[in-house]
Amino acid sequence: MTHTMDAWGLGATIFFIWCFKAPTTGPEEEYSIEFLFSLCRRAPENVKLLVYKLINPSVEARLLALQAMETPEYREMEEQLSAASRLYSGDGTLTGGDDDMPPLET
């Protein structure tokens, strides 16, 4: 398995988490964020952009997983997950309100 295939798999997994289905990329000339997320609008913009870069049909243009960790989209997602994790105790129960949680974009 190549690094580009790993990146596609990572992007597809993130897409599945947010959209509850596998991504459909379609022909390379039609590939766009709007096309990719046309039936899944609940993902935040930073997630959409990161997934778009990870599952690009053009292998040459596809963002690799390690490169993704250097993007502003990844750092924003990491901050959101960190803020959300502070709301839960070690046993997975909710510990407090959502005052520390940044709002999700719709």
Please give the tally of structural domains in the chain: 1
Is 95 inside any structural domain? no
Helix-helix angle 45-54:72-85, to 10 degrees: 130
In a domain, 60, yes or no: yes
CA distances from 99 to 62, 87, 88, 95, 104 (A): 36, 9, 13, 12, 13
Residue 72 has pLDDT above 90, yes or no: yes
In a domain, 48, yes or no: yes
CATH classification at residue 68: 1.10.510.10
Q: What is the pLDDT of residues 34-50, one digit of tens each?
A: 888 888 878 899 999 99
Residue 91 lies in a domain: no
34 or 93: which leads in pLDDT: 34
Whether 59 is covered by a domain: the verdict is yes
Range of the domain at 49: 3-85
Average pLDDT, the chain: 83
The pTM is what?
A: 0.73
Whether 80 is in a domain gets the answer: yes
Residue 17 has pLDDT above 80, yes or no: yes
